[in-house]
Structure 1
């Protein structure tokens, strides 16, 4: 792939200002941190992505969740996240409108990119969240296991009870019931800081 530029061009900044919610100063800071973490290639591979997540969630196992997030950021599915893919994805997850975040979350849970979410897919992601942060969050009551949480989310969202969640069902349920959004959420701030450059740039948010 070759060596990536150590600085963003003016054209890159203009493009990313249009496609993200970040200011020019923030883009430059995020790029600086990204390059520091990724080296001269300016590319982030899955193994490195998992290592970064693991360093920010040392009490749990972030492997599976990091794989799910990596998939949503790797838009061209080449196994590599470049800075543009990274910062566009981060803009959605950290500063996007509710519908943008929900569309991203839907993609996260739709493991085979089929356009709907099955119970097994939902459970797989919820299990990965519990493995990563389960000991750091309150898991009392009905959500003491990933199976219970996944089932509760699914039952609340599956409006036509066909055993699959469409994007429309997913968004409508989350809009109409804020408690569902809370059920879907992980430690969002921690996830953002786990991203490459997060330690350096997150302070600008």
Structure 2
């Protein structure tokens, strides 16, 4: 079932999700955070998400500790991926 859900966003069953496909299957509005989520899921930095990356990324939402949830949120809001949150990133997160 999860694989079928994944393939709904993959044109012609290519087996890869683009940002648009990711947004589409989850019914999200495209914004800086959906782009950041795709980058977090895209472990090989190929620009798309394969099924294994998709499953691994989803598993991050099942984090069992507060520290891991904070780490995930930090990575999400660190839009430029530099390891720190600057004023602009904090302002964007607060919106």
Same fold (TM over 0.5): yes
Of 91, 106, 117, 2:85 maps to 117
TM-score w.r.t. structure 2 length? 0.79
Q: Which residue of 2 aligns with 1:51?
A: 24
Structure with more contact order per residue of length (Cα contacts < 8 Å, sep ≥ 6)? 1
The runs of at least 4 aligned residues of structure 1 exceeding 6 Å deviation read none
Q: Which residue of 1 aligns with 2:58?
A: 90
Aligned length in residues:
92
Aligned to 1:75, the other structure's residue is in SS state coil
- Give the distance between the partners of 1:69 and 1:31, measured in 2 at CA: 19
Answer whether contact 2:8 2:25 (CA < 8 A) is retained. no
Of 29, 36, 40, 1:68 maps to 36
Pairwise CA distance, 1:106: 1.0
Answer whether contact 2:5 2:25 (CA < 8 A) is retained. no
Q: Which residue of 2 aligns with 1:13?
A: none
Which residues of structure 2 form unaligned runs of 5+? none
TM-score w.r.t. structure 1 length? 0.40
Which residues of structure 1 form unaligned runs of 5+? 1-28, 127-145, 147-205
